[in-house]
Structure 1
Amino acid sequence: MATVDDCRQALHALAARLERNAEARGKLDFERTLACRVTDLPAAFHGRLSDGRLLDIADGDDPKAKIVLSAASDDLIALVEGRLDVTRALASRQISIKANPFDLLKLRKLL
């Protein structure tokens, strides 16, 4: 099982990857709050997606977040590192993403 620090580092690595992708992709009109709940640890994180970038990552949950990702710590890290396919993880219920269907389509463009 990964630690809270491992999960935090994984989210910052994801933010860096999205930053690089945003520069190559150009502006994506997408402004949403995001919460990441780690189901096997007493941890949650929140931030915001803005123009394809993940910004302002902080500890703690955001109950009003428009997009909520829930995953076990090891699954979160595997997802960020590319060892876990998002579609398969959703289908097998290893992770869950609660969001508006249109937001899910925009999220696919980010990854």
Structure 2
Amino acid sequence: MATIEECRAALEKLSENMRSADDDVRAATALDRSVTCHITDLDVTFAGRLQGGRIEVRDTLEGPPRDRAEIRLAMTGDDLVALVAGELNFAKAWGSGRIRLEAGLRDLFRLRKLL
């Protein structure tokens, strides 16, 4: 089972990957939105902001998200680590329910370029 530190490192790596991505992906992440990522098996939530093409984690909270972020992710720590390492396909994991992504319709259309 992935640790909190491994999950935080995976989110940092994801943020770096987004920042150095090609134009389509960079355009999809050029939002200014609140973000939460709930790690279900650790019952920890990383809360922050998607801004300037990167994710800035501002808080690590025990339990599920306290506030309703504009973009909400939920998954196990192992799935987060595997996703960022390229070992887990996001679209398949989302389609099968392993990863939950909730956002407004407009944001979902922009974020689909990441899939």
TM-score (normalised: structure 2): 0.82
Which residue in 2 is equivalent to 1:25? Answer: 23
- Give the count of matched residue pairs: 109
- The C-alpha deviation readout for 1:44-81, integer Å capped at 9, x for no partner, is 10111124222244312451311110001111111111
- Would the alpha carbon gap of residues 57 and 16 (structure 1) be closer, same or farther in structure 2, given more than 3 Å must change? farther
Whether the 8 Å contact between 1:12 and 1:57 is mirrored in structure 2 is: no
- Would the alpha carbon gap of residues 51 and 106 (structure 1) be closer, same or farther in structure 2, given more than 3 Å must change? farther
Which residue in 1 is equivalent to 2:12? Answer: 12
Distance 2:109 2:66 in 1: 22
What 5-or-longer segments of structure 1 have no aligned partner? Answer: none
What 5-or-longer segments of structure 2 have no aligned partner? Answer: none
Q: Percent identity?
A: 38
Which residue in 2 is equivalent to 1:106? Answer: 110
Distance 1:59 1:20 in 2: 25
Residue 8 of structure 1: CA displacement?
0.6
- Would the alpha carbon gap of residues 59 and 94 (structure 1) be closer, same or farther in structure 2, given more than 3 Å must change? same
> Residue type of the partner of 2:41?
D
> Residue type of the partner of 1:85?
N
TM-score (normalised: structure 1): 0.85
Which residue in 1 is equivalent to 2:44? Answer: 43
Whether the 8 Å contact between 1:67 and 1:97 is mirrored in structure 2 is: yes
Among residues 78, 83, 86, which one is paired with 2:82 in the alignment? 78
